[in-house]
Structure 1
Amino acid sequence: MTDAPLETLDPTLSHTRGESEPALIEQTIGDNFDDTVRRFGDREALVDVAQGRRWTYAELRADVDRLARALLAVGVKTGDRVGIWAPNCSEWTLVQFATAKMGAVLVNINPSYRSHELQYVLGQAGISTLISAESFKTSNYRQMVDEVRDEVDGLERVIYIGTSDWDELLARADEVSESELSGIQAGLKNTDPINIQYTSGTTGFPKGATLSHRNILNNGYFVGELCDYTEADRVCIPVPFYHCFGMVMGNLACTTHGACMVIPAPGFDPAVTLQATQDEKVTSLYGVPTMFIAEWNLPNFADYDLSTVRTGIMAGSPCPAELMKKLIASGIEEMTICYGMTETSPVSTQNRTDDTFDQKVGTVGRVGPHLEIKIADPVTGETLPRGKAGEFMTKGYSVMLGYWEQPDKTAEAIEDGWMHTGDIGVMHDDGYVEITGRIKDMVIRGGENVYPREIEEFLYTHPDILDAQVIGVPDAKYGEELCAWIRMKEGAAPLTAESLREFCTGQLAHYKIPRYVEIVEEFPMTVTGKIRKVEMREVTAERLGLL
């Protein structure tokens, strides 16, 4: 793809626009999928390793269309909300494309939700049809649905994957002709809402980010373009479909390029992921940093053949430099880093495959095609000079339609087309952006602004530290003090606050050295692999008696 900028902007300001080529896709997801099938019908499209099933693009379209006709037959109409509550599986992918083809709005439900959260989402989105797994891990979905079903107005049907419900649904497909489905598909617009994803807020109930065909189809396409995808690529997707990382950066990046989607397992397992990567000759591997850390630290890691992997995407959290060194040593030299949020479909910036090591570990890349980004003063909204920290904001085709039936929340988040991310960023002279944390994660210690990311990067250089997260906790004297949560490498002796201080002294300014150390086995995380620093602060403050 070309690298020509859309126009020249003031190079002293933190404001850039992405390339204008290739052009935006102005199709619906269904039409674009059909085009891919026409071009690559005989190529492998989907592999569900756990189920031992695989589809060519032609076979996948046949099953997608059958499911779309079945949904129409049972009364689902264009614009209706269809919820899906399940871990990663081939049925999830079928539902994603079937709803897109007949214009139902797919509502992604977090697999870790419990009955209270389920009830809220079913009601708030107005879900009429729920497609659900029966269970996953410790979650009994059927039991939770039974608990809330009578409390939710408008829920007409629940269909459980892998049961007679699913078979009975598919059996009704013949009641609707292929021409009827084609007519409905032809009447859809690419600006129609097609997906609702609930963002996990730190307070109150989650908000439903409402995304159009145009939003997510283009984001998946350009993410794939920047990974240099072709129909020869095979993408291993261990990240959840319920989130944009799985269903957009994974599935839609593949289908817009004729590449193959590989589902290694319903949930993340490092050994199973690497086995699938080897067996399926994967060329692109996805994950959040904690996933890659778990994979590369398997005792038998060297036994896996990853020679086919050339690229991939790491997102959700910044990539530690030590981890990137391991990936490169394994031959994965074209790994890209993505940054974004659900409300922006999700990716706003991405590294290019040939970026330097420092650009990949020190930044989250630069602005994507047809997008615009800036770093602004969070109080005044003024665009800041390059090199100054402020709020990262983004504008363009990727910005959501709004929060479902919450115009007040939408107005707070989007201003003149600009999406407020709530993240602190710094734009370098070359246009690459460094994310230094959430505005709410920034620690103010004795008047000094401290960005945890800088300290975490330094802690990764300790020979015995596997992973580290830094948070601020209440302090009577300084307002906030620093606490490091640390996961030790196997066999290493636990660090103390004193030994960590000794390691940091002379390397970090005194006010950046953590006062407290918590040695843990794991970090609290969302199902998408994002670290829950809010929960870490609460636990630490309570444990240390700082409340």
Structure 2
Amino acid sequence: MSASAPNATLSLAAVVAESARMYPDKVAVVDGDTRLTYRALWDRARRVAAALREQGVRPGDRVALMMGNVADFPVVYFGILAAGAVVVPVHLLLTATEVAYVLRDSEAKLIVCHGPTTEVAILAADEAGVAVAAGGALSEGSMATVGYEHRSPEDPAVIFYTSGTTGTPKGAILTHLNMVLNATVSALDANDVRATDIVLGCLPLFHAFGQTASMNAAFRMGATIVLLTRFSGDAAIEMMAREGVDVFHGVPAMYIALLDAARSSERTLPSLRTCISGGASLPVRVLDEFAAAFSTTVFEGYGLSETAPVACANQAAFGARPGTVGRPVWGVDVEIADPERELTVELLPHGEVGEIVIRGHNIFAGYLNRPDATAAAVVDGWFRTGDLGTKDADGVVTIVDRKKDVIIRGGFNVYPREVEEVLASHPGVSQVAVIGLPDRTRGEEVCAVIVPAAGAAGIDPTTLIEWSKSRLAKHKYPRRVHVVDTLPMGPSHKVLKRELREIFSRA
């Protein structure tokens, strides 16, 4: 007998359908003055499903979704799923030509847009030869479907497109099993979400972190998500206070922005029950200061689009270990492998630095129409992350760095995260990114790009280099320091180190 019975069914749409059954009159989504109960959210989603069917969308078809953090996002997202179709979230900062590539590569039948994304979506749809629809209009005029299309657990639910930093973007296929289980373990283990929680939804919903850990985990438990279309520290604090937010999910840049805003805020800061950080390493100094300012505990986690995304996290049951990303979530194995072996996975003993590899219910079904890329990424049943880390005897994982970001200076490996952690402890530093730049003598040289702390006196690069000499080994401390007003960020607020390398390689 096969592991999955032929008639087994599962749909990510059940996340909202079940909460609508259990908590029909509870507010599910807050978007400015708009408040949608679970009953209203599910009704509008089923109207979208009916409208999609009228436009010829059938189970298994792909529908692109290009929207910001507005109420129509979950409405259309779960409408697509209710119709049995596959959601293809589209990055909001892409050009029309880049969006057209995603539409063609995913073979999308339709792209659904909203407000500010409409112009780019229309241009992209025209270039790719697909239909385009406005999100709000889809939920009007059609009679809601009775229920939702059931799918096999192994059927695609969402296709996330990678950033394309190592080539053309690839579509990572996440199944209904991947997405439902990850929302569940995120809610129960990694995030400790409760039905009484009010979650601030400021992470981009088109991104795996915001989509699963914030939106889907909140809906899985019947919590309320408050959407913030454009993040800033001041706007987030104001929203937290107004809506009684008690759970925050963010990336390090957001925590830094909130701390900066808190220092100049005259209002009483909200006390947050719990906070989740992911996407990049959170400096321990920032974690401690944030926890004190907002009377909370910050739990760091780790994952990738290909892992649905949550793979491991500091969890309330075990307590937080600052500087680590905690233990694997339920049903997932996270180990350390020899990074030099590409054709097989050889696990390393506890404490050794190697490539982080993952297996479990969260591993994607492969890259769309790219069997060679899939075979290179999933070896012996393990997904190779490209990240370097360690795992101790207690099962706690620590991220060292991205393989591609490791600096090799004079034959010695320098891990940027270690250098960043030290520089971030300087009182005059708000944000820091460490990169390797070409050097004739050493191969690569360590370069730190610094954003000064608000209100701090100007940072002198020479002084900072001298300060770092006593805190870092001779091959690790930066020989070059550049002071900038801001660091280039992607839409998920992760530092774009590739851009920094391009800029300062020419300097």
TM over 0.5: yes
Amino acid corresponding to residue 29 of structure 2 in structure 1:
L
Question: Could you say which residue in structure 2 is the equivalent of 1:378?
Answer: 339
- Among candidates 98, 106, 118, match of residue 125 of structure 1: 106
- Among candidates 169, 192, 198, match of residue 155 of structure 2: 192
Structure 2 matches for 1:168-317, cutoff 5 A? 169-174=138-143, 178-179=145-146, 182=147, 185=149, 187-226=150-189, 227-264=191-228, 266-298=229-261, 301-317=264-280
Distance across 2 between alignment mates of 1:308 and 1:232 = 15
Report Cα offsets for 1:260-286 as digits up to 9, x if no partner: 11102x222222211111111111011
Change (3 A) 1:483 1:213: same
Q: Given that residues 303 and 311 in structure 2 are in contact (C-alpha distance below 8 angstroms), is that contact kept between their aligned partners in structure 1?
A: yes
- Among candidates 44, 60, 79, match of residue 63 of structure 1: 44
Distance across 1 between alignment mates of 2:287 and 2:195 = 27
Amino acid corresponding to residue 539 of structure 1 in structure 2:
I
Distance across 2 between alignment mates of 1:171 and 1:517 = 55
The structural deviation recorded for 1:224 is 1.3
Q: Given that residues 199 and 246 in structure 2 are in contact (C-alpha distance below 8 angstroms), is that contact kept between their aligned partners in structure 1?
A: yes
Change (3 A) 1:103 1:368: same
Q: Given that residues 275 and 296 in structure 2 are in contact (C-alpha distance below 8 angstroms), is that contact kept between their aligned partners in structure 1?
A: no
Structure 2 matches for 1:13-92, cutoff 5 A? 27-49=10-32, 52-92=33-73
Q: Given that residues 47 and 55 in structure 1 are in contact (C-alpha distance below 8 angstroms), is that contact kept between their aligned partners in structure 2?
A: yes
Distance across 1 between alignment mates of 2:325 and 2:184 = 18
Question: Could you say which residue in structure 2 is the equivalent of 1:159?
Answer: 133
Distance across 1 between alignment mates of 2:63 and 2:125 = 15
Distance across 1 between alignment mates of 2:317 and 2:485 = 35
Distance across 1 between alignment mates of 2:62 and 2:133 = 14
Amino acid corresponding to residue 431 of structure 2 in structure 1:
D
Change (3 A) 1:146 1:352: closer
Q: Given that residues 428 and 453 in structure 2 are in contact (C-alpha distance below 8 angstroms), is that contact kept between their aligned partners in structure 1?
A: yes
Q: Does 1:481 align with 2:445?
A: yes
Q: Percent identity?
A: 34
Q: Given that residues 66 and 89 in structure 2 are in contact (C-alpha distance below 8 angstroms), is that contact kept between their aligned partners in structure 1?
A: yes
Question: Could you say which residue in structure 1 is the equivalent of 2:316?
Answer: 353
Distance across 1 between alignment mates of 2:458 and 2:390 = 34
Q: Given that residues 43 and 56 in structure 1 are in contact (C-alpha distance below 8 angstroms), is that contact kept between their aligned partners in structure 2?
A: yes
Amino acid corresponding to residue 87 of structure 1 in structure 2:
G
Q: Is there any run of 5+ residues in structure 1 with no aligned partner, and where? A: 1-24
Q: Given that residues 450 and 483 in structure 2 are in contact (C-alpha distance below 8 angstroms), is that contact kept between their aligned partners in structure 1?
A: yes
The structural deviation recorded for 1:26 is 7.7
Distance across 2 between alignment mates of 1:107 and 1:540 = 35
- Among candidates 389, 404, 426, match of residue 462 of structure 1: 426
The structural deviation recorded for 1:379 is 1.5
Aligned with 1:135: secondary structure?
helix
Question: Could you say which residue in structure 2 is the equivalent of 1:537?
Answer: 501
Size of the aligned set, in residue pairs, is: 496
The structural deviation recorded for 1:502 is 1.5
Q: Given that residues 26 and 214 in structure 1 are in contact (C-alpha distance below 8 angstroms), is that contact kept between their aligned partners in structure 2?
A: no
The structural deviation recorded for 1:464 is 0.7
Aligned with 1:540: secondary structure?
helix
Amino acid corresponding to residue 14 of structure 2 in structure 1:
D
Aligned with 2:151: secondary structure?
coil
Aligned with 1:178: secondary structure?
coil
Distance across 1 between alignment mates of 2:264 and 2:221 = 31
Q: Given that residues 485 and 518 in structure 1 are in contact (C-alpha distance below 8 angstroms), is that contact kept between their aligned partners in structure 2?
A: yes
Q: Identify which of structures 1 and 2 has the higher relative contact order when contacts are C-alpha pairs closer than 8 Å and 6+ apart.
A: 1
The structural deviation recorded for 1:471 is 0.8
Structure 2 matches for 1:364-443, cutoff 5 A? 364-380=325-341, 381-443=345-407
Question: Could you say which residue in structure 2 is the equivalent of 1:20?
Answer: none
Amino acid corresponding to residue 283 of structure 2 in structure 1:
P
Distance across 1 between alignment mates of 2:203 and 2:15 = 24
Amino acid corresponding to residue 375 of structure 1 in structure 2:
I
Q: Given that residues 474 and 480 in structure 1 are in contact (C-alpha distance below 8 angstroms), is that contact kept between their aligned partners in structure 2?
A: yes
The structural deviation recorded for 1:160 is 2.5
Aligned with 1:337: secondary structure?
strand
Q: Given that residues 198 and 224 in structure 2 are in contact (C-alpha distance below 8 angstroms), is that contact kept between their aligned partners in structure 1?
A: yes
Distance across 1 between alignment mates of 2:385 and 2:221 = 29
Report Cα offsets for 1:1-58 as digits up to 9, x if no partner: xxxxxxxxxxxxxxxxxxxxxxxx9842223432222222222211112xx1012212
The structural deviation recorded for 1:146 is 4.5
Report Cα offsets for 1:208-251 as digits up to 9, x if no partner: 11111111121121111122222111110101001011111111
Question: Could you say which residue in structure 2 is the equivalent of 1:7?
Answer: none
The structural deviation recorded for 1:299 is 6.1
Aligned with 2:478: secondary structure?
coil
The structural deviation recorded for 1:135 is 1.8
Q: Given that residues 132 and 160 in structure 1 are in contact (C-alpha distance below 8 angstroms), is that contact kept between their aligned partners in structure 2?
A: yes
Aligned with 1:215: secondary structure?
helix
Q: Given that residues 231 and 258 in structure 1 are in contact (C-alpha distance below 8 angstroms), is that contact kept between their aligned partners in structure 2?
A: yes
Aligned with 1:222: secondary structure?
helix
Q: Given that residues 157 and 179 in structure 2 are in contact (C-alpha distance below 8 angstroms), is that contact kept between their aligned partners in structure 1?
A: no
The structural deviation recorded for 1:69 is 1.4
Report Cα offsets for 1:464-504 as digits up to 9, x if no partner: 11111111111111111100000001233333332112211
Greater Cα offset, 524-533 or 121-130: 524-533
Greater Cα offset, 89-98 or 64-73: 64-73
Distance across 1 between alignment mates of 2:348 and 2:387 = 15
Structure 2 matches for 1:141-156, cutoff 5 A? 141-142=118-119, 144-153=120-129, 155=130
Change (3 A) 1:145 1:319: closer
The structural deviation recorded for 1:356 is 5.3
Distance across 2 between alignment mates of 1:468 and 1:528 = 17
Distance across 2 between alignment mates of 1:263 and 1:146 = 25
Report Cα offsets for 1:148-192 as digits up to 9, x if no partner: 444324x1x21124xxxx43x334413xx634xx3x52x422221
TM-score (norm. length: structure 1)? 0.87
Structure 2 matches for 1:97-112, cutoff 5 A? 97-112=78-93
Question: Could you say which residue in structure 1 is the equivalent of 2:5?
Answer: none
Aligned with 1:510: secondary structure?
coil
Distance across 1 between alignment mates of 2:93 and 2:334 = 33
Aligned with 1:173: secondary structure?
coil
Q: Does 1:525 align with 2:489?
A: yes
Distance across 2 between alignment mates of 1:470 and 1:258 = 41
Change (3 A) 1:37 1:326: same
